[in-house]
Chain A
Amino acid sequence: MEPLMNIDRLSTVFFTEDGKVTAVDEVSFSIREGETVCIVGESGCGKSVTAMSIMGLVEEPGGKISGGSIDFRGEDLLRLDKNTLRSIRGNEIAMIFQEPMSSLNPVMRIGEQIMEPLLVHLRMNKKQARARAIELITQVGISRPEQIMGSYPHELSGGMLQRIMIAIAISCGPKLLIADEPTTALDVTIQAQILDLLRGFKENSGMSILLITHDLGVVAEMADYVIVMYSGQIVEEGGVVELFQNPKHPYTRGLLKSKPVMGQRLEELYSIPGQVPSPLALEPSCYFHDRCGHCMDVCRTRQPQLQETGSGQKVACWLYEEAEVYV
């Protein structure tokens, strides 16, 4: 399938009081049409900043995209002028966030917020937009759409608000939906509903999803292709089945082993020792080396490159640099 978006060596930096932080460090990947790509990683690994960079939401002077390109259907998003970017954003690329409560305007009725992109991007008239908004609310599984149109965000629950966010996001028929931890703030039963909803839309409309999450369970359920990030870099990527069955990078293995899994109780959980290094003090090395059980001399001094392994996976680890070594 054709790649819908090609991200090439994207780097995003932030300027803090203590110095420059490279939040996204030469990240490259592509998203094909109709595919769900998941970026998984722990807090601070740069997964959300990657999404923000794609949407052009990293603003100077706080931070900036310092290099690379984001090719979307033949155009580099980073080189577009503001107006063209605006016509793509919310239209062909839409985004939903973790906190639906804080993404919606608290003093605007739900109906107006759903109608807004329809009026702006699709140039519908008010009557058409209203009819379409009611249709959208029904599509995301909310009953009594007319009543909801007139409600304010505080009158709805978190799960309902996330549905409204999805309704707004899909209103213009986007080619790509970026979902940043869309279910993290929700209860499991509501999470199951929202994931079902997203999957349904993807299957019906052929839209691609870039899903950002820290939950490996959600990844297994949703992803076609998985990208594992650590300290701003991709450490491993591959098809979902291969990656879960045969994780290569010690960090991916550690992550999978440290998650308690229902029905597979262990006396003691595996845990990755130590913690994520400070982004301010990164030396050229494998950033995972001081937490890794297989650390070698080379890991402390040189950075491994992301390389393809036999099974179509890519991994950035010195263990796989020459020949495949069994860990």
Chain B
Amino acid sequence: MSEALLEVKSLKKYFPVKQGLLGRTVGHVKAVDDISITLQPGETFGLVGESGSGKSTVGRTVLRLTDKTDGEVKFKGVDIHSLSAADMRLIRPQMQLIFQDPYSALNPRVRVGDAIGEALLDHGLCTRGEVRELVLEAMVACGLSSYHIDRFPHEFSGGQRQRIGIARALILNPELIIADEPVSALDVSIQAQIINLFSKLQQSKGLAYLFISHDLSVVEHLCSRIGVMYLGSMVETASRDELFQHPLHPYTKALLSAVPVPVPRLKRERIVLKGDIPSPANPPSGCKFHTRCPFAVEVCKAEIPLFRDAGAGHFVACHLV
């Protein structure tokens, strides 16, 4: 097997909970608790889970936008959390982030051409004379018109702004793009345009995506491998077809059955989960899912299930499988 582009091993990110006058640490929110992901060049890994499951924190920690607590993030064999700030800066252009909300990700007073070209100049990857040409190229690749270059963000619709966000990431010729809920704020007809743009860019540029989303139908469409997170832990990872056709973890099954399908009067078996996702500051003992799991037995309350191979690269953490 070729060398993995991104290798995340047992990544942990705990946020301290401080209380009282002296701000003493009274506990930890285990936002990311022992997550491992391997991403090959040109591959798309989908990370799904409900709000509060820690999927965005994984993205931020992988990019070293926030420090890790423990574990390892290797990008092309280099442990990026051990790099100096200067070395980190050299590697940054190769890994880019696209945000959910294109409205707040753009400075309203900066012309979009400048916003897209800023990083190139900042990293000294081109001269002032060349930048406009490169910006135009990136804009066209993302389906924007060349006359948009001198406009301000407020003149664009949500879909176009997301295209600007993509162009801004793309212009640095990254090998890895982490996309954090990039289509969640968009309308269906626009969402389809952006999803298609993601696959087109992947084919033409050989990009690898870490695609973070709560929408399983979007993830199924774009991703070749998928990981399901619950309360900071990975409960299941498998290839797309395997996960959608033979989900093993009860949480994955419940998630899949909860997605509304646009077929009226469709009778299907639905696993309705009771209650809410528990607080990550005080997660349940044993299997974190046992409080909502319809199949939980005694052992689930006491022992943490191992994340193990259930065959053919299908990993799952459940006592019952």
Cβ contact within 8 Å between A217 and B262:
yes
- Interface-facing stretch out of A49-57, A87-95, A219-227: A219-227
**Assuming the A-B contacts A196-B272, A261-B217, are A189 and B189 also in contact, with contact meaning beta carbons closer than 8 angstroms in the complex?**
no
Question: A15 within 8 Å of B by Cβ?
Answer: no
B262 contact set on A, CB distance < 8 A: 216-217, 219-220, 244, 256, 259, 261
| Interface residues in B249-280 (C-beta closer than 8 Å to A) | 254-266, 270, 272-274, 276-277
CB distance from B15 to the nearest CB of A (A): 19
A189 contact set on B, CB distance < 8 A: 50, 254-255, 258, 272-273
Which among B189, B190, B263, B272 is the interface contact of A193 at CB below 8 angstroms?
B272
Which among B50, B221, B276 is the interface contact of A260 at CB below 8 angstroms?
B221
Question: B159 within 8 Å of A by Cβ?
Answer: yes
| Interface residues in B154-189 (C-beta closer than 8 Å to A) | 157-160, 187-189
CB distance from B163 to the nearest CB of A (A): 11
**B123-141 toward A: CB 8 Å interface, digit per residue (1/0)?**
0000000000000000000
Q: In the complex the two chains form, what is the Cα distance from A159 to B188 in whole Å?
A: 24
Q: In the complex the two chains form, what is the Cα distance from A269 to B217 in whole Å?
A: 12
CB distance from B191 to the nearest CB of A (A): 7
Interface size on A, residues (CB 8 A): 45
B157 contact set on A, CB distance < 8 A: 275-276
CB distance from A42 to the nearest CB of B (A): 4
Q: In the complex the two chains form, what is the Cα distance from A272 to B255 in whole Å?
A: 28
A218 contact set on B, CB distance < 8 A: 260
**Assuming the A-B contacts A216-B188, A272-B189, are A259 and B260 also in contact, with contact meaning beta carbons closer than 8 angstroms in the complex?**
no
**Assuming the A-B contacts A215-B260, A263-B244, are A42 and B187 also in contact, with contact meaning beta carbons closer than 8 angstroms in the complex?**
yes
User: How would you classify the secondary structure of chain B's contact residues: helix, strand, loop or mixed?
Assistant: helix
Residue of B218, B220, B262 with most partner-chain A CB within 10 A:
B262
Q: In the complex the two chains form, what is the Cα distance from A265 to B240 in whole Å?
A: 10
B266 contact set on A, CB distance < 8 A: 220
Residue of A157, A266, A273 with most partner-chain B CB within 10 A:
A157
Q: In the complex the two chains form, what is the Cα distance from A270 to B274 in whole Å?
A: 36
Question: B193 within 8 Å of A by Cβ?
Answer: yes
Which among A187, A195, A223, A266 is the interface contact of B50 at CB below 8 angstroms?
A187
A261 contact set on B, CB distance < 8 A: 217, 261-262
Q: In the complex the two chains form, what is the Cα distance from A276 to B186 in whole Å?
A: 13
Q: In the complex the two chains form, what is the Cα distance from A273 to B193 in whole Å?
A: 8
Q: In the complex the two chains form, what is the Cα distance from A191 to B157 in whole Å?
A: 28
Closest to A242 in B: B264
Question: B83 within 8 Å of A by Cβ?
Answer: no
A266 contact set on B, CB distance < 8 A: 221
**Assuming the A-B contacts A42-B187, A220-B266, are A265 and B51 also in contact, with contact meaning beta carbons closer than 8 angstroms in the complex?**
no
Q: In the complex the two chains form, what is the Cα distance from A154 to B199 in whole Å?
A: 40
**A172-211 toward B: CB 8 Å interface, digit per residue (1/0)?**
0000000000000001111111011000000000000000
| Interface residues in B173-231 (C-beta closer than 8 Å to A) | 187-193, 195-196, 199, 214, 216-218, 220-221
B244 contact set on A, CB distance < 8 A: 262-263
Cβ contact within 8 Å between B260 and A260:
no
Cβ contact within 8 Å between A188 and B264:
no
Q: In the complex the two chains form, what is the Cα distance from A194 to B256 in whole Å?
A: 17
Question: A122 within 8 Å of B by Cβ?
Answer: no
CB distance from B282 to the nearest CB of A (A): 14
Q: In the complex the two chains form, what is the Cα distance from A241 to B266 in whole Å?
A: 10
Cβ contact within 8 Å between B261 and A217:
yes
Q: In the complex the two chains form, what is the Cα distance from A160 to B276 in whole Å?
A: 8
Q: In the complex the two chains form, what is the Cα distance from A309 to B244 in whole Å?
A: 39
| Interface residues in A252-289 (C-beta closer than 8 Å to B) | 254-256, 258-263, 265-266, 268-273, 275-276
A254 contact set on B, CB distance < 8 A: 189
CB distance from A29 to the nearest CB of B (A): 19
CB distance from B263 to the nearest CB of A (A): 6
Q: In the complex the two chains form, what is the Cα distance from A223 to B51 in whole Å?
A: 27
Cβ contact within 8 Å between B195 and A269:
yes
Give 6 new A-B contacts, CB below 8 A, not counting A189-B272, A272-B189: A187-B214, A189-B273, A217-B259, A241-B264, A262-B244, A265-B221
27 CB contacts below 8 A, A to B, read: A42-B187, A42-B190, A188-B50, A188-B216, A189-B254, A189-B258, A191-B258, A192-B270, A214-B187, A214-B188, A220-B261, A220-B263, A221-B260, A240-B265, A244-B263, A256-B262, A259-B192, A260-B218, A261-B261, A262-B256, A262-B259, A266-B221, A271-B189, A271-B192, A271-B196, A275-B159, A276-B157
Binding site for B on A (CB under 8 A): 42-43, 157, 159-160, 187-193, 195-196, 214-221, 223, 240-241, 244, 254-256, 258-263, 265-266, 268-273, 275-276
